[in-house]
Amino acid sequence: MSTDTAPFGTRLQAAMAQHGPLCAGIDPHRGLVESWGLTYDLAGVERFAMTCVEAFGGSVAAVKPQSAFFEVFGAKGVALLERVLTDLRDAGTLTVLDVKRGDIGTTVDAYGEAFLGKDAPAAADAITLSPYLGYGSLRPAIDLAHATGRGAFVLALTSNPEGAQVQHARLADGRSVAGAIADEAGEDNAEARGRGELGSIGLVVGATVGSAVRDLGVDLPGMAGPVLAPGLGAQGATADDVRSVFAGALPQVLASSSRDVLRAGPDVAALRDRARAVATQVAAITAS
């Protein structure tokens, strides 16, 4: 299978081996944009975003634009987001579009086509999905991701305190909601696991969730997909936190860092150097 048509998990595994396990965020919210000395308007966000594309393209394993920070500027903001995704793809860099979509039936089908379809106008290599209408409600998007060689990261254990109300709850069979989500993602990765490859359906698990992975029976190694792990840097997770939270699944971890990398801007070289330094640090943590 060529690299152009290989499953997302296979391509991500190769990118992580080449560049280190870092997913650099593009989060052009007001505070960050203005900290770069830019005006918080479409022109300033465009300058911010395209500086990130120049710095990260070809330099990191993956880049995660946050869709909301583009959508706030309406159609022109969405057009800019499409340009960011296209330019990163042209640079050979994987994209994870942070949209956290979740719905049912024809609506989730349409969300899938918008971002994962063969002719998607805002095509990404993977998107984030919310399973809290039930993991099965995501089936159209997950099946489409597999059909098009793309992927998804399903929210499982997030670091916000409100998340525990749902994610830590127990089902009738005794499993936690987060554990059940991991089990179902594992079923979707069974074929890749059988080939000894990383699956294309991953989970979002915060690096600051403490002992929750163990306490809730979330089987990350058995899930066999990538784990998108926000929380390093500005959110306070340490190397010891990462080793503790993801013990047994460290090779699957794709650390997500936004503020810790973006504070090095607006200089392109400084931004690129910071991203590479963080990737090296994460590689050392996840290899230990």
Mean pLDDT, the chain, as a whole number?
Answer: 95
Q: C-alpha distances in angstroms, 62 versus 17, 23, 108, 124?
A: 12, 5, 24, 11
pLDDT tens for residues 64-98? 999 999 999 999 999 999 999 999 999 999 999 99
Closest to 241 measured CA to CA, from 252, 229, 251: 229
Q: Report the percentage of the chain scoring pLDDT > 90.
A: 90
Active site (annotated) includes residue 100: yes
Q: Decide: 216 and 176 in contact? Cβ < 8 Å.
A: yes
pLDDT tens for residues 125-152? 999 999 999 999 999 999 999 999 999 9
Closest to 119 measured CA to CA, from 148, 95, 90: 148
In this predicted structure, what is the pLDDT of residue 188? 98
The structure's pTM equals 0.96
Q: Which helix (H) or strand (E) holds 284?
A: helix 268-287
Angstrom distance (rounded) from CA 101 to CA 99: 6
| DSSP state letters, 164-185 | HHHHT-B-TTS-BHHHHHHHHH
Confidence of residue 1 (pLDDT cuts 50, 70, 90): very low
Domain ranges of the chain: 8-287
Amino acid identity for residue 52 in this structure: C
Catalytic pick among 64, 76, 100, 118 = 100
The count of residues in the chain is: 288
In this predicted structure, what is the pLDDT of residue 5? 76
Looking at the domain that runs over 8-287, which CATH code has it been given?
A: 3.20.20.70
Angstrom distance (rounded) from CA 281 to CA 288: 11
